[in-house]
Structure 1
Amino acid sequence: MFQTYPKAWLDYYSGNGLIMSDPMVAWGFENAGIARWSELDDPAGVMHKAAEFGLAHGVVIVALSNDDRSICGFAKNTAEFTDTEIDELAENVAALHALTADLLRLDPETVAQLRKMSIMVTHPGS
């Protein structure tokens, strides 16, 4: 898991257990493809709260192959992502998914490095 949202949002999100009501996560486990945050059903108001932390507009992109799923969320404060921006993000997600979908194919040293990067990106300074 790579998380690069602002630390204040990550702290609030994890401290309040929002993963259980995050519409991006729910959509990502039920679908493959692309959805703007504004298209997601959000009864718990997670996306509204994210906007208070500067994450007003976002998109979820899900890549799927065999039994592997990559759920990626992107956000910004200025405006909705353009179709061109979303297309570029989707290409990058597909490429990353293809490279990391089956960690059993990677040598143990590479897997260890990916896990270390995940911790470092999620918790800078760790």
Structure 2
Amino acid sequence: MAAADRPVVVDIATRRRDGRRQDRGDGPAPLLRQVYGEILRDERRDQDRTLDDVARAVGMSKQYLSEMERGRKEPSSEMLRSVCDALGLPLENLLARSVRRLSAPRRTGQHTVTGPPRVELMAA
């Protein structure tokens, strides 16, 4: 069978809503701010709302909200609550979804790790 004739298998668990591959399964657990950002972005997109729309409802810049969603900014608890309120997402729901994502099985090297991430301190 030619390569072009072979069926394509897609693991839907590793695809995001926008079709891009999630890297959650490989390597170390993501930072909490990255998980919060993914959830907020998913929720905003599920509601078909723009960055500008949500940022205006919160009273923040579109750039700052974008950086929060990409996990580049460490938002305060007040900022998280404001964004959740603008999305109609209870803060408790954000926290529960974050726990589920962080405790999902992930691969580190040759091993699959389940349960909460383990913290390791390393000297520089």
The TM-score, its normalising length taken from structure 1, stands at 0.28
- Structure number with larger C-alpha Rg: 2
State the TM-score, normalized to the length of structure 2: 0.28
